[in-house]
Amino acid sequence: MKLALFAALFTTAAAFVTPSAERASVALQAERREFLSALAGAAALAAPMAANAVRDYDNVGYLGGSEIVDVNNANVRVYLKMPGLYPTVAGKIATNGPYKSVADLYNIPGLSGKEKELIKKYESRFTALEPSADYVIDRINNGLYR
């Protein structure tokens, strides 16, 4: 089915291929077809991680304003309030991916023993909530400089 689909595409695409390119690209076409059909299953193009607008973001309280901090969404400057974390450990927390739970923090690659102790010290203040794309992108620099 995939081959038929590609064949149909190639015939319609013929109108867009310039004559000189057509001659040279026959070999390229075959390689490309094989290459792309091999990857056809891999790409899930219709499943982006969008953050749909939430008029009231429920977890706004965990972005640094209160005692409990959401490590998946909070900006790195929030860790300034916890002595010892900023900038090294805070940087590692903010640059590494979404954490399924607070215990996942200890799995950050390259953490030294001392840094793990520091995270342990503040463990009770962390929580790992659902990462929201519009906050995750601003974890290092959210444009708010105080």
Contact flag: residue 6 with another protein (CB under 8 A): yes
Contact flag: residue 142 with another protein (CB under 8 A): yes
- Near another protein in 22-51, by CB under 8 A: 22, 24-25, 28-29, 31-33, 35-36, 39-40, 42-51
- 70: nearest Cα among 21, 10, 136: 136
Q: Which is nearer to another protein, 13 or 103 (CB)?
A: 13
Q: Which is nearer to another protein, 80 or 136 (CB)?
A: 136
* Residue 130 DSSP code: -
Tell me phi and psi for residue 106, to 5 degrees.
-70, -10
Q: Are 132 and 57 in contact (CB under 8 A)?
A: yes
Contact flag: residue 53 with another protein (CB under 8 A): yes
Contact flag: residue 12 with another protein (CB under 8 A): yes
Q: How far is the CB of 36 from another protein (least distance, A)?
A: 5
Cα–Cα distance list, 70 to 10, 42, 84, 92 (Å): 49, 32, 18, 15
**78: its two tokens:** 């929030």
Q: Which is nearer to another protein, 102 or 129 (CB)?
A: 129
- Near another protein in 74-133, by CB under 8 A: 132-133
Q: Residue written as tokens 């659902």?
A: 130
| 3-class secondary structure, 69 | strand
Residue from 7, 13, 121, 123 in contact with another protein (CB under 8 A): 13
